[in-house]
Structures are given as C-alpha cells and as structure tokens.
Amino acid sequence: MMTLTLDDAVDPRTRRADFVAAMGNAATGVTVVATDGPAGRFAQTVSAMSSVSADPPSLLVCVNLRSPLADAAVRNGVFTVNVLAVDQAHVSDVFAGRASGGEVPYQPYDFGCASWRPLETGAPGLAGAAAVFDCRLAAGHEHGTHRILLGEVLASSVTAARPLVHHARAYGAPRPL
C-alpha cells in the first residue's frame, strides 16, 4: 500500500505520477468519439466517458485538446460515442493514433479500419459497437489538458456484443463473478 506524506502531496510531479498510476488501475470502457460536419470528420479513442442524466438523456466525454476532435466536435455541434465491442480492439488502437497490426494494417485515424454509417446528426456510428450514442453538443468546458463535451443524447442503440474494457494498460472483457 502506498502512503503519501505531506511533502509528497505538495510536489506536483509526485502528485501527477501518483494520479496517473491510480487512474491506470481503474477499469474503464473503451469508446471512440467521432464527429462529422463542416469542420471535418475526426475520431479519437476516449476512455473518459460518463452518463450525466437520464432526463434528458445526456453524457460527457473528455477529449485531449491536442486532438483535432476537440475543436471539430464543438464546431460541428454533434458527435457520437461508440462503445467498442471486444472484437474491436484494433479500432481503439487506430483511433488512439497507433497503426494496427494483423492481416490488414491501418494507419492511425483511418476510418477504413471499420464500417461506419452516418446517424441522425450526421456524425459517424460504428457498426458492431456494443452501444452507440448520437449526441448534439449541449456544452463544452476546458479544464487542464482536456475539453469536456456534454452531449444531449438524441438516439442510442445497443447490441448483444460484449464491451471492451481497459485496465492497467491492457484490453480485456468483462465476465460475471
């Protein structure tokens, strides 16, 4: 067990390193957030996604400001949140900026790595995803290195696919206890 001293708590480098290590131990779902419209078509792998409210249906995602998605989603005013299925780890890698291996290698951020269709908002929905949320941007807020996008969910869908999870820098799949 790690114990923090008062001296450690005030050192920003230690605080950041401890935070990153602790967050790496949190299991999260893996999503690809995508947008399309006048500002262009972009997508990014995002693990920071959360439900906000069921009335009205809304969620939030956090996108690094260095990603072109951060500005494009705001300018387009729409985005999708695609919850990846266990057989879509390569999609996560591609939209995390890593080239995919395997039989058919893809370049980073290549929409050709999977099948997409425009949804009601015009933003791309991922075929075979465990769940898809089609959102209209309700608000955006910058904090630190990220832009928080609050989306009003106009439509959502779910499949029988098991969702992909990420824990300790590795992909996995949930299973009942």
**pLDDT tens for residues 56-103?**
999 999 999 999 999 999 999 999 999 999 999 999 999 999 876 666
3-class DSSP assignment, residue 92: helix
Range of the domain at 42: 29-165
**Residue 21 domain-assigned?**
no
Q: Give the CATH number for residue 63.
A: 2.30.110.10
pLDDT number for residue 104: 58
Share of the chain above pLDDT 70, in %: 92
Binning pLDDT at 50, 70 and 90, where does residue 7 land?
A: low
**Residue 172 domain-assigned?**
no
pLDDT number for residue 101: 63
147 near 62, Cβ under 8 Å? yes
Average pLDDT estimate for 32-55: 97
**Residue 173 domain-assigned?**
no
Higher pLDDT, 117 or 26: 117
